[in-house]
Structure 1
Amino acid sequence: MKKVRFSRSWLAIPYALFLAVFVIVPLFFVLYYAFRDDVTGQLTFGNFKTFFTTPVNLKVAGRSLMIAALSTILCLLIAYPVAYIIAKSKIKNKSAILLVFIVPMWVNFVLRINALKELLSWMGLINKSAGWDIFNTVLGMVYDFLPFMILPIYTTILKIDKSYPEAARDLGANNAKVFLRVTLPLSKPGILSGISMVFLPSMTNYVVSNWMTNNKVTIIGGFIDFAFLNDSWGRGSVTAIILLVLMFLFTWLTGGFKDEDGAAKGKALW
């Protein structure tokens, strides 16, 4: 009788089943409803046409992109100096400093956003004009996703070979040139990773926009939630598919700096 040998690949079976049941099958239904007319039940491209010809849909999508872009830029402007200073500092226990940014993530998400909202209410920045609503939403996104920008940048800078900046200085480069032509290009993988982890969630995290503006600012994640809750399956599904395509496109663009070995290329800025 031939013995059945255990293979380590069998360990992937539970994961594959979980992926099929909770990812592949739901995605199939989303695709089906995206091409299905809610009234007649026929397969059609009408839902896509409606999305791109309805001003409200385009306005929500544009607002979501703007909020995500602003949140990502602010996170990058704050996170890079922080990550650089921590990585280059002579402090031995750098992990303790990183805990200052990580520990707040252990607190319940709703509690953190509610605390920020109460602070802004005390400062009189809630229930103001629409411009302040956008500001409050971006501030909430930055507050929530800043650690996701700091950590990959910090890790990348920390792994840069010290001989590279030393060689640049030996060749006559000053500190500014060393940073711009060596450190910054080599830290590009961390920057791209941080951008991916901030930009994409900022487009869909409607909890922040709802809480920080008392439901006055709608982003694409809230738009999808509203559509499904109101039984508009075609509208919600087509929006989800468009968002999924945008995410794949964004991920492909941010991964375009990788070479055949998967390592990000570090190129000088000029």
Structure 2
Amino acid sequence: MIYRALTIAGSDSGGGAGIQADLKTFQELGTFGMSVITALTAQNTQGVHGVYPQSIEAVEAQLEAVLSDIGVDAVKTGMLFNAEIIEAVSKCLKKYGVERIVVDPVMVAKGGHALLHPEAVEAVRKHLIPLSMVITPNIPEAEVIIGEEGISSLADMKEAAKKIYNLGAKNVVLKGGHLSEEESTDVLYDGNEFTYFPVQRIQTKHTHGTGCTFASAIAAGLAKGLSVVEATKVAKEFITCAIEESLELGKGIGPTNHSAYRLRQGS
């Protein structure tokens, strides 16, 4: 059986994040990857040097081409840039009845460059979150989504996850990488209970594309029929390996190593 995974995201010319990271992840985890490009970025390890969004017509045409012919088993959304693209993507996913949707609510690049218009946050809340099977915000993104600052502990993360769940997400995976504890713990909330995914914090600056990679790894697992908990567990192992063996490329923040997990599995 061929498992089909689609990324709807921005292109990273440096290859470490965006659709490039997603497609590498899909391939490494045994799924056939497809892409809908929402924006082109001029980007490298030193930051984002330009963002060039695609037209609504271009985004819709790509979606229609893939969904009407090949179809999908899971979708991952990343950088959608503005409210108009968010609404167009949401409408098309609903039209084709796509259920396994992983939303990575990309808002700001590691270097601080805005990747989502501020006025588009409400479109994320209204149109995208209610479609998601899983949403994977980091702490700054979670604070924007719920409109509150000050998430600084595991208890705060749990409360924030509940609030995001109440916006319509079926599962919330709130990532703990921005806290300062020795362990980096992600929290999964399904509306009834919490599941925790702790790992020892890895001391490296080379973490470009971690959010994209993690979300697309969850999507690959869902495409293959894994439960949300199992898909998240594999994704956490995948991204941990990728960070532990990250690549010292360029003059800034290097990318993670997408082949590390497979090579450790001996396949």
TM-score (norm 2): 0.22
Task: Give the TM-score normalised by structure 1.
Answer: 0.22
Query: Which structure shows the bigger proportion of residues in helix conformation?
Result: 1
Bigger RCO of structures 1 and 2 (CA < 8 A, at least 6 apart): 1
